[in-house]
Amino acid sequence: MKYPFILPRPCLFVLVLAILQSSASAQAPSAAGDMDNLARFRTYKSRRISSHDPTGGNDDGQWKNPIKAGETRLLADIKGAGVIKHMWFTINSGERHHLKKIVLRMYWDGEATPSVEAPIGDFFGLGLGEYFIYESAPLSVGSQQALNCYFQMPYAKGARITVTNEGKDNVGAFYYNFDYEEHQSIPEDLGRFHAQYRQAAPNKGWTNEWRGNGDQKINDKTNPVGEGNYVILEATGRGHYVGVTHSILQNQGDWWGEGDDMMFIDGETTPSIIGTGAEDYYLGAWCYGGCGGTGRPIFSFQRYGNAMNGGDDRNAKWMVYRYHLESPVVFTKSLRVTIESGHANHRSDNYYTVAYWYQSEPHAAFPALPPVEERIPRLMPTGGPETRP
């Protein structure tokens, strides 16, 4: 490019500074996050819906009114426009796997079918029905058994939130807070938050006659178009995918993470986004310290993590997650997010995922939620190795 004139040095400095500032503002948020704008005045009204005792007593978790087996409990029915900014739950239940048996649903703007439908544990990344502590930017689990969500959830006409107890026992107490902003209206360019549960228990590996993930017949198999991939999300309409929590129960030895992620945008038959391995999609590397490594540290960062790491043997338990907060995956007509279960889908492990995305309404029909007994993680007889060779 040719320039018709030369800027004086002070002007050149100001121009360069402006370009750098503009570039920085387009990048991912700073470590300070929301603190960057804490001093800015707000125009919304701050609101909260909670499980507090309306009599002024201390029955805040409704111990005297437990959620009975088979009951659907309305937690929130908000009218008008607003944005839910934070949700908190803690549950008192002695029933094993109650995290898989209590189903969370959310409805926006009077819709008949939920935009959020998942077992409550899976929604918060606890897809194997067990509590553990971790922290990410949108989701975290604190001590003791405190479930937190920071995904923004806008609505123009109202929001309705329910839980259904599909277990056999009553839920002794169910505490919750929904912190939200009440607005006169919200911008038309805000998508609605969605979360969808899926599982494969087990994945259908194309062979069980293998000793290790590195067997030649495994590595020589090709899968350029994602045939047989595990489906994390299928959506239609306009929107953007922001991430996934993924829990794994290994039915086979060696380790689960040899598969590639593949994303098909707006009707593609060949994926335009293809990864190099499952741990790579989840922003780890080298089997998270396996593959002959010396350690297996767990970690939970703001955008990605390996918060449960069970090793390489049959019955190993894992949880990984990835959020595309820096650049959500945009689609205008449809999106299909998939991942292989082992290279070219040779493995038969159990996968449990929740995908998170924003889109315009109406959304496509969700797959039927599996019956509660099928959601309970259990080791499946799939053949294959029991340990890493």
Q: Quick: pLDDT tens for 285-312.
A: 998 887 755 557 899 999 999 999 999 9
Domain identity same for 215 and 173:
no
CB-based contact 158:80 (threshold 8 Å): yes
pLDDT at 21 over 60: no
Residues in contact with 318: Cβ distance below 8 Å, sequence separation at least 6, in sequence order: 247, 248, 249, 250, 256, 306, 308, 309, 310
Mean pLDDT of the chain: 91
* End-of-domain residue from the set 183, 212, 247: 183
Mean pLDDT, residues 62-75: 96
In a domain, 90, yes or no: yes
Q: What is the pLDDT of residue 385?
A: 96
Last residue in a domain, options 148, 183, 218: 183
Q: Total structural domains in the chain?
A: 2
pTM of the full structure:
0.91
Residue (of 87, 76, 77, 51) closest to 66 by Cα position: 51
Domain annotation covers residue 19: no
pLDDT at residue 367 is higher than 60: yes
Neighbours of 280 (CB within 10 A): 14
Same domain assignment for residues 349 and 260: yes
- If we measure between CA atoms, which residue out of 298, 300, 282, 296 comes closest to residue 141? 300
- Residue 65 and residue 163 share a domain: yes
State residue 292's pLDDT score. Answer: 58
Write out 338-358 in H/E/C secondary structure.
Answer: EECCCHHHCCCCEEEEEEEEE
* Residue 381 located in a structural domain: no
Q: Of 162, 183, 204, which one is at a domain's C-terminal end?
A: 183
Q: Measured between alpha carbons, how far is 90 from 242 in angstroms, rounded to an integer?
A: 25
* Contact of 248 with 312, CB cutoff 8 Å: no
Biggest CA pair distance of the chain: 79
Domain span at residue 55 reads 45-183
- Provide, rounded to the nearest whole percent, the portion of the chain with pLDDT above 90: 87
3-state SS class at 13: helix
Residue 87: CATH number of its domain = 2.60.120.1390
User: How remote is the C-alpha of 170 from its chain's centroid?
Assistant: 27
**What kind and span of H or E run contains 17?**
helix 9-26
Residue 14 lies in a domain: no
CA R_g for the chain:
23
pLDDT by residue (tens digit) across 145-166? 999 999 999 999 999 999 999 9
Verify that 156 and 263 share a domain, yes or no.
no
Residues 217 and 355 in one domain: yes
Is 141 part of a structural domain of the chain?
Answer: yes
CB contact set of 53 (below 8 Å; sequence gap of 6+): 59, 60
Judge if 291 and 210 occupy the same domain: yes
Beta partners for residue 45, in sequence order: 182
| Residue 137 reports pLDDT greater than 70 | yes
- Whether 375 and 302 have beta carbons less than 8 Å apart is answered as no
Please state the rounded mean pLDDT for residues 75-89: 98
Q: Are residues 201 and 334 in the same domain?
A: yes
Tokens of 371: 């019956």
**Are 157 and 198 in the same domain?**
no
The pLDDT score that the predictor gives to residue 25 is: 33
Q: Do 164 and 213 sit in the same domain of this protein?
A: no
Stated as kind and residue range, the H or E segment containing 101 is: helix 98-101
